[in-house]
Amino acid sequence: MDKLTPNPGWSPRISMPKTPPNPSPSDLAFINRQLRQRLSTLTREASHNEEVLKRFHDRELTLLATESLPQLLSCLADGMKSSFDLPTIQLVLHDPDHELRHLLLHSGIEPDSLSDIRFVDEISSFSPRHARYKAPWLGAYMEQDHAILFPNAATLKSIAILPMIRRSKLVGFIGLGSHDPNRFTRHHASDFLNRLATISAICLENTANREHLVIAGLTDPLTGLHNRRYLERRLEEEVTRALRYRHPLSCLFIDADHFKQINDRHGHGAGDSVLRELALRVRECLRLSDIATRFGGEEFTLLLPQTDATEALNLAERIRHRIQDKPIAIHGGESVAVTVSIGVSALRPDSDSSTQQIGERLLGDADSALYESKESGRNRVQLATTPACQKTTPP
The mean pLDDT values, 10 residues at a time, for the chain of 395 residues are 49 54 76 78 69 75 88 91 90 93 84 91 90 93 92 88 94 94 89 91 93 86 92 93 95 97 93 96 93 96 97 98 96 92 95 92 97 96 72 37
* pLDDT for position 394: 38
Q: How far apart are CA 226 and CA 230, in angstroms?
A: 6
* pLDDT for position 48: 60
* pLDDT for position 1: 43
Considering just the CA atoms, what is the radius of gyration of the chain in Å?
30
- Establish whether 298 is a catalytic residue: yes
* pLDDT for position 14: 47
CATH of segment(s) 25-215: 3.30.450.40
Q: How far apart are CA 283 and CA 277, in angstroms?
A: 10
Q: How far apart are CA 15 and CA 120, in angstroms?
A: 50
CATH assignment of 228-390, among 3.90.180.10, 3.30.70.270, 3.20.20.70, 3.40.50.1370: 3.30.70.270
Q: How far apart are CA 219 and CA 227, in angstroms?
A: 5
Each domain of the chain, given as residue ranges in start order, spans 25-215, 228-390
- Among candidate residues 176, 199, 174, 165, the one with its CA nearest the CA of residue 57: 199
Long-range contacts of range 232-236, CB-CB < 8 Å, 24 or more positions apart? Answer: 234/108, 234/291, 234/303, 235/303, 235/359, 235/362, 235/363, 236/355, 236/356, 236/359
* pLDDT for position 321: 97
Catalytic residue among 277, 298, 299, 375: 298
Angle at 119 between CA 205 and CA 303, to 5 degrees: 90
Half-sphere exposure of residue 285, counting CA atoms within 13 Å on the CB side?
22
- Cβ pair 301, 251 in contact under 8 A: yes
- Secondary structure (3-state) at 66: coil
Q: How far apart are CA 107 and CA 45, in angstroms?
A: 44
- Among candidate residues 106, 314, 366, 333, the one with its CA nearest the CA of residue 224: 106
* pLDDT for position 8: 45
* pLDDT for position 386: 63
Angle at 387 between CA 384 and CA 388, to 5 degrees: 80
* pLDDT for position 9: 40
Residues in Cβ contact with 150 at an 8 Å cutoff, skipping those fewer than 6 apart: 88, 90, 141, 156, 159, 175, 177
Q: Which helix (H) or strand (E) holds 381?
A: strand 381-383
